[in-house]
C-alpha cells in the first residue's frame, strides 16, 4: 500500500519537515532503506545514518536537530520507536489471516471450535479443551486435556501445552514452546538415587502475554506457575516450577529462573540472566546481560555482573580491573623497597 508522507503524518500526528507529497510504500532500517521506504531514528548511535540514508521519510523525535542537511522528509513525533510499532502492527493486521480446520488433525469429541478459529494440519486438541473466539492453532500443535485458551490466542507451529494449563486473552506463543512440562522436582534418597516428585500443578498465562520460540515454562509442583498480564518473554527461556513473573516484565533470550522465585512487575531483564531459586525480586529493576542473581532484590535497582551488584559498583570494579597489572607491579615494587629498608 502506498501513502504520501503528509497523509501518514496526519494519521500519526506528526509534523512534516520536507516534501509532504513524497510516496511511502515500504519500511526498512535506516542504514538499509531505499527510495520509497519509511525508517526511523530512535537510538543516537545511528544518527550518522540519517545524513546518508536513501529513505524517503524518517521518523525522528520532535527535538531532533540535524547537524547537516538531510535529504529525506522528516516526520517529527514524540517517540519514533513507539510510532513505528503502531505502524508495523497496522501493516501486519492487513495480512490475510488463516481460517477453518485443516486436515488431518485431531479434535476430541465434545470440543467446541468457534466459527472464526483456525486449526492447522496435524494439530492435536485433547478432550475438555475450551477455546475463545478467533483462536489460531498452527500445524503440529498439541493442546492437552482440559486446557483453556482465551480470545485471540495464537499458537505457532509445534507449540505444546500440557493438560490443565490456562492461557489468557490475546496471548501469543511462538514455535516450539512447551507450556506445562514437569517441574524439576526429585527427592534425594539414602542410596544416592532420586525419586521423582509428581508435579500436579498447572501454568497460568494471564492476558496479553507473549512467549518466544523454544521457551519452556514448567508446571507447578502444587498450585500454579503464573506469568502475569503483559509479560514478554524472549526465545530460549527456562521458567521453573512455581515461579511467578509480575506484570509487564520483559526478559531477553536464554534467561533461567529456578523454582519458586517470585519476580515483581515492570522488570527489564537482559539476556542470559540467571535467578537462583526461592528468591523475591521487587519491581522496576534492571538486570544487565549475564547477571547472576543469588539473593533477594528490592525495588528500583540497576544490577550488573555475577554475582549481581549495583551497576555503579560494577563500573568501578571494571575500572580497577583494567589497572590490575599496573597495581600488581606497584605492589611488587613496594614490597621490594620495604625488604631493602628492613635489611638496612
Q: What is the phi/psi pair of residue 295, to 5°?
A: -140, 175
CB neighbour class for 21 (10 Å; exposed up to 12, middle 13-18, buried from 19)? exposed
Integer Cα distance of 257 and 156 in angstroms: 24
Helix, strand, or coil (residue 240):
coil
Residues marked as catalytic: 241
Integer Cα distance of 166 and 142 in angstroms: 14
Helix, strand, or coil (residue 45):
helix
276: Cβ contacts below 8 Å, ≥ 6 apart: 258, 261, 293, 294, 295
Q: What is the phi/psi pair of residue 8, to 5°?
A: -65, -40
Cell of 137: 492453532
Report the interhelical angle of 80-93 vs 5-12 (nearest 10°).
Answer: 100
Helix (H) or strand (E) holding 318: helix 311-322
Amino acid at each position: 500500500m502506498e501513502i504520501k508522507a503528509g497523509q501518514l503524518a496526519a494519521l500519526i500526528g506528526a509534523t512534516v519537515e520536507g516534501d509532504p507529497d513524497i510516496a511511502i510504500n515500504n519500511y526498512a532500517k535506516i542504514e538499509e532503506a531505499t527510495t520509497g521506504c519509511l525508517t526511523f531514528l530512535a537510538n543516537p548511535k545511528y544518527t550518522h545514518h540519517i545524513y546518508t540514508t536513501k529513505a524517503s521519510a524518517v521518523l525522528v523525535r520532535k527535538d531532533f536537530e540535524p547537524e547537516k542537511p538531510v535529504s529525506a522528509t522528516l516526520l517529527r513525533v514524540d517517540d519514533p520507536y513507539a510510532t513505528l510499532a503502531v505502524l508495523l502492527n497496522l501493516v501486519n493486521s492487513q495480512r490475510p489471516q488463516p481460517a477453518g480446520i485443516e486436515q488431518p488433525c485431531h479434535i476430541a469429541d465434545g470440543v467446541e471450535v468457534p466459527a472464526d478459529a483456525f486449526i492447522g494440519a496435524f494439530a492435536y486438541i485433547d478432550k475438555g479443551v475450551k477455546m475463545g473466539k478467533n483462536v489460531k492453532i498452527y500445524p503440529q500443535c498439541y493442546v492437552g486435556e482440559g486446557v483453556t485458551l482465551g480470545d485471540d490466542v495464537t499458537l505457532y507451529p509445534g507449540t505444546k501445552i500440557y493438560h490443565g494449563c490456562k492461557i489468557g486473552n490475546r496471548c501469543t506463543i511462538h514455535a516450539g514452546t512447551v507450556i506445562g512440562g514437569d517441574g524439576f522436582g526429585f527427592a534425594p534418597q539414602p542410596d544416592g538415587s532420586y525419586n521423582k516428585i509428581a508435579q500436579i500443578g498447572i501454568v497460568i498465562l494471564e492476558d496479553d502475554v507473549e512467549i518466544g520460540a523454544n521457551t519452556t515454562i514448567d508446571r507447578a509442583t502444587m498450585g500454579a506457575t503464573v506469568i502475569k498480564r503483559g509479560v514478554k518473554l524472549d526465545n530460549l527461556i527456562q521458567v521453573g516450577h512455581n515461579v511467578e513473573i509480575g506484570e509487564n516484565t520483559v526478559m531477553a533470550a536464554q534467561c533461567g529462573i529456578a523454582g519458586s522465585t517470585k519476580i515483581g512487575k515492570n522488570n527489564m531483564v537482559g539476556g542470559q540472566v540467571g535467578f537462583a531459586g526461592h528468591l523475591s525480586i521487587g519491581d522496576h529493576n534492571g538486570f544487565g546481560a549475564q547477571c547472576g542473581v543469588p539473593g533477594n532484590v528490592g525495588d528500583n535497582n540497576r544490577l550488573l555482573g555475577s554475582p549481581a551488584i549495583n551497576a555503579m559498583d560494577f563500573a568501578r570494579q571494571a575500572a580497577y580491573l583494567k589497572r590490575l597489572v599496573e597495581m600488581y607491579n606497584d605492589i611488587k615494587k613496594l614490597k621490594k623497597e620495604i625488604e631493602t629498608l628492613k635489611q638496612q
